[in-house]
Structure formats: C-alpha cells, structure tokens
Structure 1
Amino acid sequence: MPPTSPKLLSPHKGPRLIVYAQTFHDPAGNYHSLLPLLTNNTGITHVIVAAIHINEKPEDLTLNDHSPDDKRYDTLWSEVKWLQGSGVKVLGMLGGAAKGSYERLTGSEEKFEAYYQPLKALVQTHGLDGLDLDVEEEVPLSTPTRLIHRLRADFGADFLITMAPVATALIPDPKLEPHQRPPRPRLAEPGTPNPLHPTLPHLSGFSYPELECSPAGQEIAWYNTQFYCGWGDAGTTAWYDTIIAAGNWKPEKIVLGVVTNPGNGAGHVNIESLQRVCSELREKYQIVGKGFGGVMGWEYFNCGECDDDLVHVTGLELDNDTVQAGWVKALGMVLRTQEPEHLHRKKPDLGGITAEEIRQMVGGLPGPSVPWSDEKINGLVTIGFSRQEAVAALNATDGNVDLAAGFLFDHV
C-alpha cells in the first residue's frame, strides 16, 4: 500500500504557497493549464495572474500584450473560477518590469480616475480576489497610497492588496553613521520598521518602511519580496532573517520570493535547497507572531524544468501529473502540512538589535547571484559607487552601463 499523503492545512492557514502565472501559452499556442495545482493536491494557496498594464489610452488596459477579454484568455478565466471554488485566492498583478502603469496613476484626481476605472472594471468583471502592486518604476509615496485606499473603499475588507518589493527595499541602509541615523518616531508601532530610516537601493522610488507605518500600510496583506536578480538571495535564511531582525518587519507579512527556473532570472535556488530553507524558516518563525509568511514563485509555466529539480522531484515520488505541479507540491509538503516534523529550535531573538549589529549583519550577507558581468559592475564601482548600488542601477537600466552611471549620479 502506498504511503498516505500528509494532511494539508486549509488555504487560509499557515505559510502561503503562491505562484505567479504570466506565460499562458507555449510557442505553438497550447495553453498552460493551472488545474494541476488542484488535481495534484499541491497545497497551493494563491495564484497571481500577471501582468496587467495601464497603457497610454485609459481604455487600452492589457493583460500582457492583449485585452483581458481577448478569446485567448477564455480558458484562463474559466480556470480562475475553478481555483476560487476550491478555496484558492486569485489576484491580478499590476505593473512589473514594463514601466508606465504607476506613472499614469500619479497626478491629478481627474487623471487618476481616467486610468483607474478600467482597472476597477477588470477586477469586477473577472471577480479577482485582490491585486498585487508590483511597482518597478520611481513614483512618489502618494501613488501607491491613493491606489491602496481606493481599492479598499471600492472592494471592501476581504479584498487582498499585496506588494512586490525587492529585498533591498526592506533593509535599512547600514552605511549611515550612528549620528546620521534618524530616531524612531514615538508614534511608530513597536515591531515595525523605522519609517524615517532610508533603505538600500531598490526600484520603487518611495520608502516601504514609511508606507508600512502609514494607514495605507495596514491595508497591505503581505509583501511578495523578490530575493533574486541581484536584489537578495534565497539560498540560505540570512537575507530573510536580516529583513525581520534589522527592520522589525513582521514575518507573517514577508513572503520569500524565488525564481522557479534558471531561465526566469538570476539567483535560482534548486528545489532541494529551497525545501531546506523553507523548512528552517517555518520552524523558526512559527513561534514568533503569526509565523513565516510563505513562498512565492516566479513563474508557474516552467517551474522545475531544470535538471537538478527534475531529478529531485522525481525522487520524491509525489505522484504528480506535471513537472510544474511536482515543483509546487515539493514545497507544499514542507510549508502546508499540518504538523512540521521538527519544533525544537529556540525562539529567535528579534529585539535589541543595535545599529552596529545591523551594519555587520547586512555587510556579512552572502552575495546574491547577479545577471551582470563583473566587468560592468566594477566599471561602476571604480567611479565611486558600492557594488550593491551598481547592481541596482544595472537592473534598473537593463544592463546599460552608461544609463546606469547616469542613474547613479542622479539618484544616489
């Protein structure tokens, strides 16, 4: 008799298991079905449909390159209903690497309304459970704040609002000398980041600590944090631990974001190592507040399609129908089971971190994998910028050294 699969938690309990879905068809036009996430009992809790773009004409809202109502998406929207009927929450992702969506939501109320109304109609038409705000362009804090408050007013308390910062956006800048570090405001709630302390370089232009400590920040369900492409590392718990300890972020609001395939971005962590990291994080933080926030994978259509992952998932004998479902289920067996095997670790000490300890913690982090050559990075370092700043600028300019240098001189 085959071994009995462990019983999984209900979708609204425990660490989240999230995948983004952006590539819906293969080159021949065949649809990548999401239903194996259900039929293989993977433990999936959330699917994020990507990417919604606000274009120059307000009425030209697109899901990737086509209207959300294009016939090519008929199967997708029908599967969304199946997922939701099984308890899986389905969100849409707004923004991403293609810039412009948030710039168009910036400015006058009249301009905001013109671009917001088609977005609102999309959410209503397809019954999405929430929106993931992936801001990868420089905008003022007022832009996400206004959008968050409007979404809450229009869709109610159960509507999920998430964000997708890179990991460096949540880590206080350790280069500031002690006398330069801003004091923590009296009204800032204990256990939250210092809203006045600048962070390491990132993509969004505004301060995530300031957002988190504002009324709008209380509406954010969690952060799908990108620990890849030079912005962080998911190969150990070090970067995640630093965010929680140095910034006092609540672990239940920080989701570990990974790439599911080496082709999806630099910093891929093989599934065997990722299982170990997730097990350690779940064990460590389940006795702190509400526990580990979970894992998100970018993206679903090709997850697990590399030699190391194929061999490991096959060896687990998970009885999965597809490679993709096997990759997700391998994490589900770690994150979504009712009773973790090991609960013996000492409760981590997340308080009393000094400024110097933060400096040492960030300075001693393992370097993340980056998509740019040492030659490009060192070319920017030699003109006076740190390696982290150089990588951030190259990421922001798609590897163009000249544009990256201009970016650094203008913004750092």
Structure 2
Amino acid sequence: MSDIDNRVVMYYQTHYRNGAFVSPLPMIGYVTHVLLAAFHLNMGNVGPDIVHLNDYMPSADYFAPMWPELAQVQGNGTKVMGMLGGAAGGTYDCLTDELFDTYYPPLRDVILDYNLDGMDLDVEQWVSPAVIERIITTMKSDFGDEFIITLAPVATALTEGGNLSGFNYIDLEAKLGHLISFYNAQFYSGFGSFFPEDQYVKIVEYEQGIDPGRITATVLTNSANGYGYISTDSVVASIKNLMTKYGTQWGGVGGWEYFNSLPDSSQPWQWAVTMKEAMAVQKAKMLKAAKEKESREEENRKEKVNSRMFRL
C-alpha cells in the first residue's frame, strides 16, 4: 500500500456567528475535506423544498456568501462534501423503497447543482440494511467512482457495541466496503474517546478489521459542542502514537465543528493547522529515522566489502 495523505476533516454546520458569516476560506491548505452540514429530507414537502440545509433550502439567500467560497475551497484542492442526516431524525425515513423515487431525486439534484464531491451519511436513527445499501449503490451509480461516500458511525458501532443507526456496520463493511471511502467515526458523546488511542486500535483489529487508512477519528473541537471533549494536545498525542504504530497508513482526524474550534475560537482554522502540523512533524521524524537507518546500513555494507577486500 502506498502512503496516503492523512486527512484533516472539518464539519461546517454553523455558517453565521453573532450575525457574521463564518468563512470557510481560512481552511484552505489545512483541511482535506470540508463536510457541509447538515442536509435533511423533509417528509411531506414537495419539489426542491424537500431538501434543506439546516433550516433553509440550499438556494436561499442565507447561503449566498457561502457557495462561491466553497467553490474557491474546492478550487484549491479541498474536497467539499455534504453531510446527510445527523441528530435530527426523519431524513432516512424518506429513503425507504416506497418513498425513494420521490425523495431521492431532489437530493441528487442538489449534489449536482452545487458540485459536491461526496456525501457523508450520518445515520442517527433506525435504518434497515436494505435502505443504507440502496443509498450507497445508487449514489455510486449516479455519480461514479470518484464520488466520495463516507459514513459517520459512533466509534463503538465499529466494534459492534453501541450504535445509533440500526444496521450493523461490520456487516455493511463486509458487503459494501469497496464503495465506502472511509468512516468518520465519532469518538465522543459517551461512545468513545480518541485519547488514549486504544479504541482506535481496537477498531482496526476487530474481526476482519477496517484498514486504518479508512478510519478518521472525529473529535469535538470545543467542549461547547457536546460531551466528551478532549484537548488539542491530547489529540496531538494520539496522532503521534498512531503514526508511530501505523506510519502514514492511518486515516487522520476530523473535527465537529469548525466555527468555534479551539485552541482559539476567534481563529477556528487553527485547530486544523495544529492537526496538519502534528502529522507533518511526525512524518518528518519518521523520514529522518528511515534515512538514518538507510545510511547506517550503507555504512555497514561498505565496511563488510572493505573487510573482505582486506582479507584478500
């Protein structure tokens, strides 16, 4: 397996703070994936009004400053995805077999209209395996192999523990893992912690295992965002330990959410900067150690050659 670009994923749900637009532009260069949250499907609505981004239709004036900036973010190499679902229930009730042809097409149109690179399926309600499988296979069929499909289970669900989704993620991975780019596992809210990193390792080693390159550890960026916050220093410590164990063959970290990220909520992109730098520093140490080892081995080889020549 070749090296992967360790991800820094950021959820972008709060788009205004104290009346001021929260620009995604400062994330350029530091975040690999921006996950625009949260898209919902509304039972009983019709046409374009079926799909809302938080409280508004995506075309609302409320989002007018956001879409061109997200296009600029994409233009600088960051993937911009949608997040479907989340804590507000009901979205996936609209995607059962009998309702799929009514409620899926408007979602497909939004993905096309706003040039989204993928969709993060955050299922926090009971959903049957057949429903989630149909969503995944239909999106891949509609948008092609380059379209990124991720899921956002609570961390315990990846070892068949606590699970908010109804379906079994281990079974889904065995059946459709080849269509799922990676998992944004939620290591908070009582379903796990990223510090220490033992739970991450248990997920990798559980049963058939999920490749560490496909597991992003999502953490809270501020204690105000939920239960189970760990400091940026703790996240950095686990990054160091996991890169010592897996090298660059692990998935990276994600943050919920952008607008108030610590260590400085007035400059929320600093969280992503810290994460990217932590991985870069560790990678540099690994490369230095590898070069030093290679140099020692070369010196040993030369000494052996010289020793044989001297005996001759």
The two structures share one fold, judged by TM-score above 0.5? yes
Unmatched tracts of structure 1, length 5 or more: 1-11, 172-198, 314-321, 346-412
| Mapped pair 1:258 → 2:205 | no
- Tell me if 1:95 matches 2:85: yes
TM-score of the superposition, structure 1-length normalised?
Answer: 0.66
- Inter-partner Cα distance in structure 2 for 1:275 and 1:203: 28
Q: In the alignment, what sits opposite 1:399?
A: none
Contact 1:133–1:162, Cα closer than 8 Å, also in 2: yes
- Pick aligned residue for 2:15 from 14, 24, 38: 24
In the TM superposition, 1:332-343 aligns within 5 A as 332-336=276-280, 339-342=283-286
Instruction: Give the Cα–Cα distance (whole angstroms) in 2 for the partners of residues 63 and 254 of structure 1.
Output: 26
Of 152, 158, 162, 1:201 maps to 162
SS in 1 for 2:64: helix
Distance 2:280 2:133 in 1: 32
Return the structure number with greater strand share. Answer: 2
CA RMSD of aligned residues (A): 1.9
User: For residue 26 of structure 2, what is the aligned residue in structure 1?
Assistant: 36
Residue 397 (structure 1) aligns with: none
Matches within 5 A, 1:141-290: 141-171=129-159, 199-214=160-175, 216-247=176-207, 248-286=209-247
Whether contact under 8 Å (1:58, 1:118) holds in the other structure is: no
Please say if residues 334 and 340 of structure 1, whose CA atoms lie closer than 8 Å, have aligned partners that are also in contact: no
Structure 2 match to 1:329: 273
Instruction: Specify the alignment match of 1:319 in structure 2.
Output: none
Q: Cα deviations across residues 144-194 of structure 1 (Å, max 9, x unaligned)? A: 1001111011101100000000011111xxxxxxxxxxxxxxxxxxxxxxx
- Alignment partners' CA distance in 1, 2:243 and 2:10: 18
- Alpha-carbon distance between aligned partners in 1 of 2:285 and 2:243, rounded to the nearest angstrom: 11
Q: Contact 1:91–1:129 at 8 Å: present in 2 too?
A: yes
Counterpart of 1:112 in structure 2 is 100
State how 1:55-70 maps to structure 2 within 5 Å. 55-56=42-43, 57-59=45-47, 60=49, 61-70=51-60
Q: Secondary structure at the match of 1:93?
A: strand
State the TM-score, normalizing by the size of structure 2: 0.87
Residues 19-74 of structure 1: CA deviation (Å, up to 9, x unaligned): 000000023x2100111112xx4x21110000000001243210000110001101
- Does structure 1 conserve the Cα–Cα contact (< 8 Å) formed by 2:162 and 2:191? no
Segments of structure 2 that go 5 or more residues without pairing to the other structure are 291-312
Who wins on radius of gyration, i.e. which is larger? 2
Which is helix-richer, 1 or 2?
2
For 1:246 and 1:219, how far apart are their aligned partners in 2?
20
User: Identity, % of aligned pairs?
Assistant: 39
Superposed counterparts of 1:391-406, under 5 Å: none
